[in-house]
Amino acid sequence: MTSATLARVEAHVFRAPIREPIRTSFGVMAERVAVFVRVEDSDGARGWGEIWSNFPTASAEHRALLFAEIVAPRALGKVLDDPVALWAEIDRGLHVLRLQSGDAGALSAAAAGLDLAIHDLRARKRGLPLWRALGGSDDSPVPVYASGLNPGRAALETVECTRASGYRAFKIKVGFGEETDLASLRPVARTLGSGERLMVDVNQGWDLGTACRMAPKFAEFGLGWIEEPLPADRPLPEWVQVASVAPARLAGGENLRGAGAFQQAIDSGLFGVLQPDAAKWGGHSGCLPVARAALAAGRTYCPHFLGGAVGLMHSLHLLAAVRGPGLLEVDANPNPLREGLLGGLLDVTGGCVSLPGGQGLGLEPDLKPLMNFKNLHIERRA
C-alpha cells in the first residue's frame, strides 16, 4: 500500500427519543445519542469510528466539536501507515489540554473515535476483516450478554425477551437500594436455565460501607461478576475490603484512562474482569494491549460499550481479535442509532453472534434512515 495521508474527517451527531427511559444509579437517559466519525485518506479509502457520548447525553455535540477543532487537526495530513504511533502522538499532545480544560474524558473519547476509524480504514485497505487485521485468527462465533437491564419488574421482562432472542447471559443494573436490588434479581435468578449467566452493574453507586453490606447479600444468585461497586477513583484499600466480602469477581475498567491505570488494576489482582471501552479511551491502539495484558495475567477481558452501531461493531472485532473467556456487551434497550444501522447483522443464536463478512468493520453505515435524528454535522479537510 502507498503511504496515504488523512485527507478528510467528519463527525455526525444523532439524537433519538426513546419510549422507556434507561435508569442507572447515577442518572436517567431519556434519549439515545451517538457521535459517528468518518475518515477518508488521500487514496479515497474510508473508515468509521464512534466517540463515546452515552451519558450525559448533552456531551455529544461538545465531543464532536472537540474532535473537529482539537483532535482531528493533529492527524489531518499525517501518514496513516502506523495508527498506533499516530494515536500515541496525539495522546501525548493532548496531555496539557486535558489538564488545562478539565475535559480529560471528552478529549480522550474524541481521540479514541478517530483511532477506531483509522483502524477500520487500514483494515479495509488491506482487504481484511478488522478482527484479523488486529491479530485475530479465530472466526468462530463470539459469546454475548444482554446489558443495561433496568431494575424492578422490567428486569425480568427484558430477560425473557432477550432470552427469546437467543441470549444466554444477562446483566442487571443495581444500586437502587436493597429492597429494589433484591427484588430485581430474585425473579430473574429463579428463571435461569442450564448454562445461563447473571451479572450485576452497580455503576459506581455504592460507598464503601454500602458495598460491604450489600455485596454479600448477592451470594444467593451465583453471579458472574459485580461491576463497579465503588466509584472508579476510590483508593485501593477500599477495593481490597470490597473484594474480601464479595461473593463474585469484581469487574471494572470502563472509567479508567491510560495504560498505567489499567496495568495497576491488573496487577492489583482485585479485578477478575477488565472492561476498557475503546470508544471512551484508547481506541484499538490503546485497548488492544490492555486486553492482551489482562488475558496474560489470567483475567477476563470483556469490552465495555453502550452506544450506537459503529462502536458496538468495533467492540466485537476487538474481542474477536483477542478472544479469551470474555463476552461482548450488547445493550438490551431499544436504540434506533444501533438497530437502524445494524438490521439483522448481529442476530444472536445460542448466546453468540457470528463475525460479519467483508473488510474492516463489515458494516458500511447508511446514515439516510437516521436523518430525522441528525443534530450536527462537521467536516474538516487537510
The whole-number pLDDT of residue 2 equals 65
Over residues 321-348, mean pLDDT: 96
CB neighbours (10 Å) of residue 20?
Answer: 11
Quick check: is 103 in a domain? yes
Domain co-membership, 284 together with 171:
yes
Q: Is 204 helix (H, G, I), strand (E, B) or coil?
A: coil
Q: Domain tally for the chain?
A: 2
The whole-number pLDDT of residue 374 equals 97
- Residue count (the chain): 382
> Among residues of the chain, what percentage have pLDDT more than 70?
99
Domain co-membership, 171 together with 80:
no
Quick check: is 281 in a domain? yes
Domain co-membership, 143 together with 272:
yes
Which residues lie across from 380 on neighbouring strands?
Answer: 9
Using CB atoms within 10 A of its CB, is residue 157 exposed (0-12), middle (13-18) or buried (19+)? middle
- Helices (DSSP H) in 252-305: which residue ranges? 259-268, 283-296
Place of cell 427484558: 158
Quick check: is 58 in a domain? yes
Domain co-membership, 170 together with 262:
yes
CB neighbours (10 Å) of residue 81?
Answer: 13
Q: What is the pLDDT of residues 173-189, one digit of tens each?
A: 999 999 999 999 999 99
- pLDDT at residue 77 is higher than 80: yes
Q: Is 251 helix (H, G, I), strand (E, B) or coil?
A: strand
Of the listed ranges 18-27, 31-40, 215-224, 265-274, the least confidently predicted one is 18-27
Quick check: is 85 in a domain? yes
**Does residue 333 contact residue 30 with C-beta atoms inside 8 Å?**
no
Domain co-membership, 102 together with 173:
no
The whole-number pLDDT of residue 287 equals 98
Domain co-membership, 180 together with 315:
yes
Q: Is 164 helix (H, G, I), strand (E, B) or coil?
A: helix
Quick check: is 361 in a domain? no
Domain co-membership, 100 together with 139:
no
Over residues 106-112, mean pLDDT: 98
Quick check: is 1 in a domain? no
- CATH code of the domain containing 109: 3.30.390.10
Domain co-membership, 65 together with 188:
no
Domain residues for the domain of 110 are: 6-127+369-381
**Does residue 136 contact residue 321 with C-beta atoms inside 8 Å?**
yes
Cis link prior to 56 (omega < 30° from 0)? yes
- pLDDT tier at 27, thresholds 50, 70, 90: confident
The whole-number pLDDT of residue 23 equals 84
- CATH code of the domain containing 179: 3.20.20.120
- Helices (DSSP H) in 83-174: which residue ranges? 83-93, 95-101, 104-126, 130-133, 153-164
